[in-house]
Structure 1
Amino acid sequence: MRNLILIFFALLCFSSNAADPSCLKVSDSACSVYNNLGRGVNLGAVFDRSVYGELGVKYSPELENAILDFDSVRIPVKFGSFASVDATAKLDPLFMERLDLVVNRLLSKNKTVILSFFHYRQITGGKLNFGESEVDELVLEERFVNIWSQLAERYKGYGKKLVFEVYNEPHGRLSGSTWRNLFDRGLKRIRLIDPRRIVIFGADDWSSIAGLEASNPVDDVNVIYTVHVYDPFLFTHQGASWVKPTRPVGVSCCDYAQIALIRNRIFRISRWSKTYGRPVFVGEFGSINIADHKSRIEYTSTFVALAREYRIPWFYWQIASDFGVFDFKSSKWLPGFRDVLLR
């Protein structure tokens, strides 16, 4: 009897992280945040443009009602376009107030919210977007770090359901050691102000699984990891104007080979996570609305089922616009998507 009692109390004291191989090397707080991500959605085409509302998508009660069906919301934000062009990168107060309103509303509904730094085109060597101002090359990285200083200070009193993603899809000039060094600088600045905030690392090569496999884990127990999965790419990005050369349209989904490809990507995410004891979630997956609607539903259903099988949280890209599942003009879900995403 005495032995049974000892075993019972030992189990009670057993760390939740020890029971989860993907959380062995992170804090209980990081593991808890990760496990509560669940089913997420990206609030794209709202704050990730150089001009608010540029694509016609604005935050509205109808859009909010749609995203509240999810457990978590990732908010892509083009901070660089709403900051002064000098090294201080002072954030525009009106823009930040508008962002705060959305962040606070979602947190009040008990959603996990990820703030992700998007589309700092000049730092990756890309073509500037409409409305984006060129800045002195000498202050590019300092602006980046100073923006994170301001964000860390602004939100330091918020609870753990607010999460920072240092940069979305690093690529181009922001690759290899250049990206890792800049990530480390941004993380260090955040830690000076907010030592325990959960922060997300995405590897170079557009936050791909290959990029993560080529990376060493970050030496910080409050960092979790993200991967973006758009395979099969010929299906998900068919006809996309920003992909060169433009991929042909009319590609359907999902045959055996396509399903096997999706499974391979998710398996590799799970394998890396368990190998290094660090949790990884899918920050983006989705398909363009040029694709056949029936195939889009099949792809989404397949991806969600495989992610559930491997117990990996995910965020669909995106709620509205070109990869969307919700028609912001009619304020209605596109047929079938709500069922496959939220069943």
Structure 2
Amino acid sequence: MEIVTELDAVPGSEFIDVEVAADVAVAGGFRSVRLPVPFTRYLEPDGTVDPAFLAAVEDELAVLTDHGLTVVVSCSCTIESIDAFHALWAQLAPALADQPPSVYFELANEPVWHGTDSPVIPDFGADNILHAADWNQAVATVLPTVRASNPERIVVVTGPDLSFPQAVPDLVLPDDDRHLIVTFHQYQPLQFTHQGAGWLPGSDAWLGTTWSGTAAEIDTLAGTMEAAVCWAAQHDRPLFLGEFGSLATGGLASRVAWTETVARMAEAEGISWTYFELSSDGFGIWDRHVGAWRTELYEALLPPVDDPMAPWAACAGTPTTTAPAGTASTTPAAAATVTPTFTG
């Protein structure tokens, strides 16, 4: 479960107290949280991270791990340059090296260059997005530095191009590092999940888009993720669906159908996940104003006990069976030495 706490708060933003978030996540049966942390927002003029902010991060991690949660610390940061990105992690890795093994490092969330506007439409030709060449260079530069102080820490690495699943096969990782999990995000079709989004010009034209889980819709959804699933199988890498969700403007019935389908499809292929997100008015499944789950969405995330969805990806040399939406697997993926055992 993604939680937006005071660490990532800006004036006028929605956030939840970390103690409340931890209590809610555990009570809801979730085993993990993804914690966005905007480290680059708190850089001193000399490029060092504000020590007070680092202390606040450690305080929140203590709360979450004391609740027994696995925590993915997601660097919600922009990248000034590859050298600056390296300098950032040269500070963060040793500073957080004493965290328990249940704290994972995510190098960057949907990496974009600093000094550019966030992409309003996922245009793979946009200048601010890190494409494969630059992102692979960044990973190759930063990862050895992280390993110097955290040799066995699980590190989560996204693909390029805003973490779209179609870009996962463009990711290059060191073969000898088996403490890596590859992540991607799923918000497709955007016309449904982001209809009426205030930050997406033109998205008002999408209002009224529905998603009911027809065979054609499920096939299209599978098509967006299949290359990632097959790449992971070929390279023996576990996958983590780090974000998926839809805005409240999409209508409850469609949101429930889409959410349940994405969760079950991930589980069927052994992909761990965290939902985006817990408590905002737009995407959230827990209403912080009344202190209660949005029941239908919450239940859509819970895997059924019986009749799991069969693996669906048609990878070369791998037999697959198509199954209807709404069923789930409870068996996590296994990789060489890392098994993503968290779901939230």
TM range (shorter): 0.7 to 0.9
Quote the offset at 1:102 in angstroms: 1.8
**Cα distance, 1:296–1:217 mapped onto 2, change above 3 Å:** same
- Cα distance in structure 2, aligned partners of 1:173 and 1:260: 28
State whether residues 217 and 276 of structure 1, in contact with CA within 8 Å, keep that contact through their aligned partners in structure 2: no
1:310 and 2:251 matched: no
Q: Which residue number corresponds to residue 48 of structure 1? A: 8
Quote the offset at 1:46 in angstroms: 4.2
3-state SS in 1 of match to 2:274: strand
Q: Which residue number corresponds to residue 282 of structure 1? A: 241
State whether residues 201 and 224 of structure 1, in contact with CA within 8 Å, keep that contact through their aligned partners in structure 2: yes
- Cα distance in structure 2, aligned partners of 1:60 and 1:199: 23
Correspondence 1:149-168 to 2 at 5 A: 149-168=90-109
Moved more, 273-282 or 327-336: 327-336
Please point out which of 3, 9, 30 is paired with 1:70: 30
- Cα distance in structure 1, aligned partners of 2:86 and 2:171: 21
Quote the offset at 1:96 in angstroms: 2.2
- Cα distance in structure 1, aligned partners of 2:106 and 2:19: 26
Quote the offset at 1:98 in angstroms: 2.2
State whether residues 5 and 18 of structure 2, in contact with CA within 8 Å, keep that contact through their aligned partners in structure 1: no
**Cα distance, 1:162–1:45 mapped onto 2, change above 3 Å:** closer
Identity of aligned residues (%): 28
Residues 55-98 of structure 1 deviation map (CA, whole Å, 9 limit, x = unaligned): 13131543322222311111111110012133xx2222232222
State whether residues 231 and 261 of structure 1, in contact with CA within 8 Å, keep that contact through their aligned partners in structure 2: no
Quote the offset at 1:179 in angstroms: 1.5
Q: Which residue number corresponds to residue 83 of structure 1? A: 43
State whether residues 6 and 15 of structure 2, in contact with CA within 8 Å, keep that contact through their aligned partners in structure 1: yes
Q: Bigger radius of gyration, 1 or 2?
A: 1
**Residue type of the alignment partner of 1:209:** P
**Cα distance, 1:145–1:210 mapped onto 2, change above 3 Å:** same
Q: Which residue number corresponds to residue 325 of structure 2? A: none
Correspondence 1:326-337 to 2 at 5 A: 326-337=286-297
Q: Which residue number corresponds to residue 50 of structure 2? A: 92
Please point out which of 203, 209, 231 is paired with 1:272: 231
- Cα distance in structure 2, aligned partners of 1:277 and 1:60: 35
- Cα distance in structure 1, aligned partners of 2:196 and 2:276: 17
**Residue type of the alignment partner of 2:156:** I
Q: Which residue number corresponds to residue 17 of structure 1? A: none
- Cα distance in structure 2, aligned partners of 1:179 and 1:77: 19
Q: Which residue number corresponds to residue 221 of structure 2? A: 262
Quote the offset at 1:223 in angstroms: 1.7
- Cα distance in structure 2, aligned partners of 1:248 and 1:265: 20
Quote the offset at 1:157 in angstroms: 2.0
Greater helix fraction, Structure 1 or Structure 2: 1
Residues 100-129 of structure 1 deviation map (CA, whole Å, 9 limit, x = unaligned): 222112212222111111141xx3xxxxxx
- Cα distance in structure 2, aligned partners of 1:331 and 1:98: 25
Please point out which of 179, 201, 226 is paired with 1:222: 179
- Cα distance in structure 2, aligned partners of 1:45 and 1:119: 16
In structure 2, list runs of 5 or more residues that go unmatched. Answer: 113-127, 304-344
Quote the offset at 1:267 in angstroms: 3.5
**Residue type of the alignment partner of 1:325:** I
State whether residues 80 and 144 of structure 1, in contact with CA within 8 Å, keep that contact through their aligned partners in structure 2: no
**Residue type of the alignment partner of 2:184:** V
Q: CA RMSD in A?
A: 2.1
State whether residues 16 and 279 of structure 2, in contact with CA within 8 Å, keep that contact through their aligned partners in structure 1: no
- Cα distance in structure 2, aligned partners of 1:216 and 1:156: 25
State whether residues 149 and 189 of structure 1, in contact with CA within 8 Å, keep that contact through their aligned partners in structure 2: yes
State whether residues 48 and 78 of structure 1, in contact with CA within 8 Å, keep that contact through their aligned partners in structure 2: yes
State whether residues 62 and 331 of structure 1, in contact with CA within 8 Å, keep that contact through their aligned partners in structure 2: no
**Residue type of the alignment partner of 1:96:** L
Residues 272-330 of structure 1 deviation map (CA, whole Å, 9 limit, x = unaligned): 11111111111111101221012111111111222222221111011121211112222
3-state SS in 1 of match to 2:242: strand
Moved more, 208-217 or 73-82: 208-217
Quote the offset at 1:166 in angstroms: 0.6
State whether residues 229 and 284 of structure 1, in contact with CA within 8 Å, keep that contact through their aligned partners in structure 2: yes
